[in-house]
Structure 1
Amino acid sequence: MIETIATTPYDDQKPGTSGLRKKVPHFQQPNYAANFIQSIFDALPLDGGETLVIGGDGRYYNREVILMAIRMAAGNGYGRVVVGKDGILSTPAASNLIRKRGASGGIILSASHNPGGAKGDFGIKYNGSNGGPAPESVTARIFEKSKSIQRYRVWTSTAPDISKLGETTLGDMVVEVIDPVADYAELMESLFDFAKIRDLIASGFRLRFDAMHAVTGPYATEILERRLGAPQGSVVNNVPKEDFGGGHPDPNAVHAAELISHLMANDGPDFGAASDGDGDRNLIVGKGVVVSPSDSLAVLAANAPLAPAYAGGLAGIARSMPTSQAADRVAQKRKIGIYETPTGWKFFGNLLDAGKVTICGEESAGTGSDHVREKDGVWAVLLWLNILAERRESVQDILDKHWAEFGRNFYQRHDYEEIDAKAANGLMESLRDRLASMAGQRFGTLVVSEADDFSYKDPIDGSVSTSQGVRIIFSGGSRIVYRLSGTGTAGATLRVYIERFESDPSKHALPPEEALKELIATADVIGEIKKRTGRSEPDVVT
């Protein structure tokens, strides 16, 4: 039986770049999660009988909202819900399931790389029938519906037990609980040369994968240990926990410091990797070297044809605007298309669907390809392993040879987290006010050649996105980018991206902080960061 429950709207349910994210107590307000889920359904052209995929990263409050979402799907006329056992489903695995099952879409419960727990972060996002994040036109409709919602519909019976595999019914709707790993592992095996990777590992090659007590633990254990033969224990922190074991599931130099220390040791493994809360981000570490996400994208793009799925070459490469231009140099040399989009994986969706690009990446540790419509941490790790198995060189050797061929883009991202939102917005407004007069200004040896606020016109559907980040570009190609992140839940996060190209191989071994020293100082001067935020240094440097 369907019950219609009266509710009142909240005024703060505007989705960001990756759905709606708030603190857990905020989501626990009466009807807050139900309002947003109903707003998703109300914004969609549902005819009845559709299939919906539901899953999440296992963080605190996931199970409760998944059970509510199942009942609401039945109340809104869906014919089938496919849900991961215990509600577990990585974001790329959910994307694959949507595509494989021909589902109308999916609800993914995650706050990605943000911390979990009873007072941590929580999130809900909707992915469309192509498996990718809903485009801005859809998220705008969801927000409009959320502002005027008066009721939500729910099946009165309790949801089936999602800890047991198999099919049950809720009214006329089938609830199918699946192994969350099986379909994804099968997809990975179709993309890469598992036999060659097994041979590499059998030869004595050692690896360490840190799942950070997040969703990729079961995926990495099944693929790396059971299917590829890595010794048991190669995957650490592999049990998903509601609070991520008290850690912060963001695979960067700060939160994955333990993994990095293992790879820096003389007797450490040959290869290390980590993934985030929902499995869509990755960190790659070689013996003695941390690979920046921008360099990883460029290396993967240059070497992808070594893997079976990409042996025919790439259609093109896409990167988010703040990501370093290292991938551009690969595209230019390989004579394939290069596309620069705003931050947010949803902007890659149209390019992938149109066959314009094969590989995409963001500097925020996200890389992926046309196999799904999400970034994919485990996929990136397996492509690296396939490349290593083919080349039989170290990660450092591969980087050195890549820079010798394409040049090196020295690059850092500086994050100023949980700063006062008013101060952050004032900083950005001041930058925008000064853009018109910026060209020609000199800062030390740096001369501004152009400055703008990045806007993007989608080459497929013609949609326009404005105010996507302030770019200061200097003569010679160095640049500084300023933007506010849309993935946090408290205050504002200012991100400053700093980049300089170096063609001289004799200078490629410079530490990034030394190569970027003048640009880093100039970023504070132009952005007035210390003056406006009171912060003398970033919280995180990647």
Structure 2
Amino acid sequence: MEIKTVQITPFTDQKAGTSGLRKKVTVFQKEHYSESFITSILLSIPEGVKDSFLVIGGDGRFLNPEVIQLIAKIGAAYGVKKLLIGQNGILSTPAASHIIRKYGATGGILLTASHNPGGPLNDFGIKYNLANGGPAPESVTDKIYEVSKSLTSYKIASIPDIDTSTIGFQTYGDSLDVEIVDSTADYVTMLKDIFDFDLIKKFFKNHPDYRVLFDALHGVTGPYGKAIFETELGLENSTQNCVPSPDFNGGHPDPNLTYAKSLVDVVDRANIPFGAASDGDGDRNMIYGAASFVSPGDSLAIIAHHAHLIPYFRKNKVQGLARSMPTSGAVDLVAKAQGLECYEVPTGWKFFCSLFDANKLSICGNRPSIKEIQKDFWKVYGRTFFTRYDYEDVDSDGASKVLGVLKDLVADPKFVGSKIGDRTVTEAGNFSYKDPVDGSVASNQGLYARFSSGSRIVVRLSGTGSSGATIRLYVEQHSNDPSSYDQDAQDFLAPEIKMATDLLKFKEFIHTDEPTVRT
């Protein structure tokens, strides 16, 4: 096996965001760019690269096949012992995490830009997951960045291209073992250990008119949806848009009411009781049924409330609950009622991982109708109205000024106690998180303010974009008034949303207060 050393000029822009490095495809196609970042990952593996065992997979987007070949060739040159790759390079992010843990891998390299658009002129991403299956923490991503800034050469082996289409085991070069596995089998087996598939099948047998529709938005979850809903549960015509596409068939694989219109239209037209969609790599979802949208905060809280009905949690005690700081506080109410700890962490799955590993956390992030399930939940806990406004690809300077308004207000000791219209500011800050397991601190994770009206606003710049800036504005308000529960969230929150966009001067700095996407 011939190994060649290639001289390069170090790159200075390979700093990972919330979850890996995300750039335009054209950036990753620059000479040596992808090779540099792959090498930087390998040289930063905590256990060391020599004799490592890595899981490789992605969401099927444009450039995935080429980068898989680079990982194999560069990995072989640096002494990687084994690669386990999803068939045709396909692995959802949750499936990859499960496979890493199940087979005792050193870690995994995932090729995904999550919910960002795909195609030759859109986005690509690479991220590293640790042996626990979770995304690399900042200590590792910081090391990757430092290595990339000083990397003046990389090694690459002259091995044949990996055949990712054929399930089985082969050896390439002198010592690189490669195993191609069914992309869905291990994940489906895991789900069958969590949920009672026989009971679910019995329900559908007894209620043949109850329809389910899953929309993969042409992302990675298509094969998983077909394996679960069609093969395992035997539900005909229960999936759509389930063939992964390099450009997501020209769509935007972000499951919300704007970009998942293909699901919303069919569910509304056919009056389908339960619909769901997922993003490009399968780690976020949307539930929508018969004109009823379930907000992510309600979805998390409802699952936690009903955890005792899930076989896995009947066998394994619920250790605790958690949510990211911007997520609505509905799950906090469930935790309080059930006597559980509820952790508030920064945005990013990596912050949940140490809690899972320390057994502090079990749930993070139905024949009644979705609406009836929500109403039953609201009767117990009240309703936390919640919305997220995304302002995508706006001017970076303008976005910084919007955040600067709240940053300056938070820094002013007179802000808390001041009046905004008829509201009093009761609390404000820039969220900081101290990990209760290892004591590490993550600062400046999101600006927020609470008001006497019972509302909370959060504003942050997304760490998942590849160009321009994306502002995310979160607004929530809790209500214990049953007469309000049936209101549309946008209508109920309208005064708080206007207060927030006026306060932060959206029109002045980015020339609009109308978002690209409402969630």
Q: Single out whichever of 216-225 and 279-288 deviates more from structure 2.
A: 279-288
Q: Which residue of 1 aligns with 2:273?
A: 270
Preserved contact between residue 42 and residue 49 of structure 2 (Cα < 8 Å): no
Alignment of 1:441-480 (within 5 A): 441-480=418-457
Aligned counterpart for 1:395 among listed residues 370, 376, 380:
370
Amino acid at match of 1:217: G
1:359 match: secondary structure = coil
Tell me how far 1:47 sits from its aligned partner.
5.8
Q: Which residue of 1 aligns with 2:177?
A: 174
Identity %: 48
Preserved contact between residue 264 and residue 289 of structure 1 (Cα < 8 Å): no
Residue 8 of structure 2 is aligned to residue 3 of structure 1: no
Residue 494 of structure 2 is aligned to residue 520 of structure 1: no
Q: Which residue of 1 aligns with 2:283?
A: 280
CA distance in 2, matches of 1:504, 1:184: 42
Tell me how far 1:520 sits from its aligned partner.
0.7
Q: 1:313 to 1:508 in 2, by over 3 A?
A: farther
Aligned counterpart for 2:306 among listed residues 292, 303, 314:
303
Residue 194 of structure 2 is aligned to residue 219 of structure 1: no
Preserved contact between residue 61 and residue 124 of structure 2 (Cα < 8 Å): yes
Alignment of 1:371-520 (within 5 A): 388=366, 392-435=367-410, 436=412, 437-520=414-497
Q: Which residue of 1 aligns with 2:38?
A: 37
Preserved contact between residue 213 and residue 237 of structure 1 (Cα < 8 Å): yes
* Residues 358-404 of structure 1 deviation map (CA, whole Å, 9 limit, x = unaligned): 0011xxxxxxxxxxxxxxxxxxxxxxxxxx1xxx2111111000001
Residue 247 of structure 2 is aligned to residue 243 of structure 1: yes
CA distance in 2, matches of 1:17, 1:30: 25
* Residues 422-479 of structure 1 deviation map (CA, whole Å, 9 limit, x = unaligned): 1111222232122123112212221101211111111111111111111111125311
* Residues 485-521 of structure 1 deviation map (CA, whole Å, 9 limit, x = unaligned): 0001111111111010001112111111221121111
Preserved contact between residue 53 and residue 105 of structure 1 (Cα < 8 Å): yes
Q: Which residue of 2 aligns with 1:364?
A: none
Tell me how far 1:532 sits from its aligned partner.
1.1
1:404 match: secondary structure = helix
Tell me how far 1:536 sits from its aligned partner.
2.9
CA distance in 1, matches of 2:198, 2:139: 44
Aligned counterpart for 2:144 among listed residues 121, 142, 145:
142
2:154 match: secondary structure = strand
Alignment of 1:28-177 (within 5 A): 28-44=29-45, 45-46=47-48, 48-170=50-172, 171-177=174-180
Aligned counterpart for 2:233 among listed residues 228, 233, 237:
228
CA distance in 2, matches of 1:343, 1:240: 27
Amino acid at match of 2:159: S
CA distance in 2, matches of 1:69, 1:303: 42
Q: Which residue of 2 aligns with 1:14?
A: 15
CA distance in 1, matches of 2:288, 2:479: 22
Preserved contact between residue 43 and residue 49 of structure 2 (Cα < 8 Å): no
Tell me how far 1:159 sits from its aligned partner.
2.6
Tell me how far 1:258 sits from its aligned partner.
2.4
Q: Runs of at least 4 residues of structure 1 off by over 6 A?
A: none
Residue 229 of structure 2 is aligned to residue 252 of structure 1: no
* Residues 79-122 of structure 1 deviation map (CA, whole Å, 9 limit, x = unaligned): 11000111111111110110011001000000001111111100
CA distance in 2, matches of 1:207, 1:281: 18
2:43 match: secondary structure = helix
TM-score, normalisation: structure 2: 0.97
Tell me how far 1:158 sits from its aligned partner.
2.2
Preserved contact between residue 260 and residue 290 of structure 1 (Cα < 8 Å): no
Unaligned runs of 5+ in 1: 362-387
CA distance in 1, matches of 2:504, 2:395: 15
CA distance in 1, matches of 2:139, 2:153: 23
Amino acid at match of 2:391: Y
Amino acid at match of 1:215: V
Preserved contact between residue 49 and residue 78 of structure 2 (Cα < 8 Å): no
CA distance in 1, matches of 2:169, 2:322: 40
Amino acid at match of 1:500: Q
Tell me how far 1:3 sits from its aligned partner.
2.1
Amino acid at match of 2:247: D
Amino acid at match of 1:229: G
Preserved contact between residue 109 and residue 127 of structure 2 (Cα < 8 Å): yes
Amino acid at match of 1:230: L
CA distance in 2, matches of 1:422, 1:313: 48
Amino acid at match of 1:121: D
Unaligned runs of 5+ in 2: none
TM-score, normalisation: structure 1: 0.93
Amino acid at match of 2:222: G
Q: How many pairs does the alignment contain?
A: 511
CA distance in 2, matches of 1:130, 1:357: 14
Preserved contact between residue 455 and residue 467 of structure 1 (Cα < 8 Å): yes
* Residues 252-282 of structure 1 deviation map (CA, whole Å, 9 limit, x = unaligned): 00011121122223x4222100111111111
Q: Which residue of 1 aligns with 2:295?
A: 292
CA distance in 1, matches of 2:357, 2:432: 21
Preserved contact between residue 22 and residue 124 of structure 2 (Cα < 8 Å): yes
Tell me how far 1:313 sits from its aligned partner.
4.0
Amino acid at match of 2:55: V
Q: Single out whichever of 407-416 and 529-538 deviates more from structure 2.
A: 529-538
CA distance in 1, matches of 2:20, 2:11: 16
Q: Which residue of 1 aligns with 2:198?
A: 195
* Residues 48-94 of structure 1 deviation map (CA, whole Å, 9 limit, x = unaligned): 22210001010000000001101111111111100011111111111
CA distance in 1, matches of 2:110, 2:505: 38
CA distance in 1, matches of 2:406, 2:481: 33
CA distance in 1, matches of 2:243, 2:320: 37
Amino acid at match of 2:426: S
CA distance in 2, matches of 1:515, 1:47: 54
1:273 match: secondary structure = strand
Amino acid at match of 1:461: D
Q: Which residue of 1 aligns with 2:339?
A: 335
CA distance in 2, matches of 1:350, 1:327: 20
1:309 match: secondary structure = helix
Preserved contact between residue 111 and residue 121 of structure 1 (Cα < 8 Å): yes
Q: 1:47 to 1:208 in 2, by over 3 A?
A: closer
CA distance in 1, matches of 2:4, 2:170: 20
